[in-house]
Structure 1
Amino acid sequence: MCFAHAGGSAAAFRALPGLLPDDVQLLAVQYPGRQDRYTEPCMGSMEAMADAVTAALAPFLDRPMAFFGHSLGAAVAYEAALRLERAHGTVLAHLFVSGRSAPSRSRTSRELHRLDDDELLAELSSLGGMAPEVLADPGLGSVVLPALRADVRIAETYRAEPGCRTGAPVTAYHGESDTGVEEADARAWSAHTTADFAFRSFAGGHFYLNHRTPELVADMTARLEHVGRTA
């Protein structure tokens, strides 16, 4: 199960199926307020988003599952993992978190979601996560901005419950030149699991995965080889 970054969608993972073993089923979360869910209101909080994901996963609890989340998606994946354990006793085969500081690390006081439209788009573009055509076309920008702003607000206002840990093994991925996430803060995910923890960095910035997808998928697949396959 894959969880996208702020402003992202399920389409962010369209390249992954061709890189996965045939017996691995890829599912990607489509947050409301974009693409085929454009007419639905955006989520207003991390709690609401994680609750909705957990409810939607009910039909898949009869098989092993692993989560991968990037940036905002890492936090959503973590919160959904905790809820699965509490509500259903289901522990993930693995939790992969990418491009996000551990929940226990304090977040920046900067509030990007309060910037005006042009400033917000420029900030996200500087991280490499905004398509050039969106910046060049005001019409496209107006389409993506509501979901983008809502997601950034969730990411910036999220505060994890202190002391919570998942029973799933956790691997944290980090872009070596990510200016928004320090390596030490990514490694601090080790405090959020009672199982094994691993860390790996890749060349690149916050969106290193756009250029390192085959390496990333190969690493995740190798770490899941002992599992009876995942969704």
Structure 2
Amino acid sequence: MNNRWIARPRRAASPRLRLICFPHVGAGAAAFNSWLDHLPEDVELCAVRPPGRENRLREPLVEDGRELLDQLEPIVAPLLDVPFFVVGHCSGSVLAYEFVRRLRDRGAALPERVVLSSAEGPTVRQIDDPLHLLPRGELLRRVVKYGGMAEEVLADPELMDMFERILRADYRVIERLAYSPGPALDVPITVIGGRRDEFVSQEAMSAWEAETTAGFELRLLDAGHYVLAEAGAVIGQLVGGEA
């Protein structure tokens, strides 16, 4: 089960730190593989792989965020025996943050840091135009515009069928998941964003400052909304203790 839910592409014999990473909508664990080049040997990448993709294609998709986290929690628990970061990329930030709030509410070990990207803070989050309800063509075009899917997919009917199914389920998870109530986390939060992001403003990303009592920083990169590749170097700095 662990091999299906969590990908650990380069295991460390004695990890100093683990990164528990939640991918963006439509993606799987492989989305984070490019980060390996930026990580020290003693930092272990543990990427979440939801059902319905990569080596879990035959498994039914999960369309409820709380159900997904219920299934994931006992799988991740044994990995929290060393210091860890929780990381959410783009839409995966919603699940990442809610996962940390669950850890806090259960009295479990908390991460050394929460790292989120290209996402608005909970106080300003609004779902006015649910993507999971969009017609097929508009849904796929919107995702291509965000930068998380190659435009060539639109010309391939089989790929479109597969991606539409995954995207619609993933957006149902993200868009229907409300953050649980409670006080701000006593965990530092770093938000990574693009200066040219046309979908999430710097003000909306800065709203995450209200969700922590332990320090907040916003790192802006020369990028648009989709900052996965550029964020790898920032992650490397954070886990290496660099400013």
Q: TM-score, normalised by structure 2?
A: 0.86
Contact 2:89 2:228 in 1 (8 A): no
Are residue 86 (structure 1) and residue 85 (structure 2) matched? no
| Aligned Cα root-mean-square deviation (Å) | 1.8
Which runs of structure 2 are paired with 1:81-230 in the superposition (5 Å)? 81-210=100-229, 212-223=230-241
Per-residue deviation, 1:214: 4.4
| Letter of the 1:175 counterpart | G
Contact 1:167 1:194 in 2 (8 A): yes
Aligned mates of 2:198, 2:127 — CA distance in 1: 12
- SS of residue paired to 1:5: coil
Query: What runs of 5+ residues in structure 2 fail to find an aligned partner?
Result: 1-19
Residue 68 of structure 1 is matched in structure 2 by: 87
Deviations 1:178-224 (CA, angstroms, capped at 9, x unpaired): 122111111111111121111111111111233x144323332244x
Residue 14 of structure 2 is matched in structure 1 by: none
Number of matched pairs: 224
Deviations 1:27-46 (CA, angstroms, capped at 9, x unpaired): 10001111111122222222
Aligned mates of 2:185, 2:76 — CA distance in 1: 17
| Letter of the 1:208 counterpart | V
Are residue 47 (structure 1) and residue 60 (structure 2) matched? no
Contact 2:101 2:180 in 1 (8 A): no
Higher percent of residues as strand: 2
Aligned mates of 2:172, 2:55 — CA distance in 1: 22
Per-residue deviation, 1:164: 3.8
Are residue 58 (structure 1) and residue 91 (structure 2) matched? no
Deviations 1:51-110 (CA, angstroms, capped at 9, x unpaired): 222221121121111011112211111111111222243111110010111122131411
Question: Displaced runs of 4+ in structure 1, greater than 6 A?
Answer: none
| Letter of the 1:217 counterpart | I
- SS of residue paired to 1:28: strand
Which runs of structure 2 are paired with 1:9-24 in the superposition (5 Å)? 9-24=28-43
Share of identical aligned residues, percent?
35
Question: Highest relative contact order (Cα 8 Å, sep 6+), 1 or 2?
Answer: 1
Query: What runs of 5+ residues in structure 1 fail to find an aligned partner?
Result: 227-231
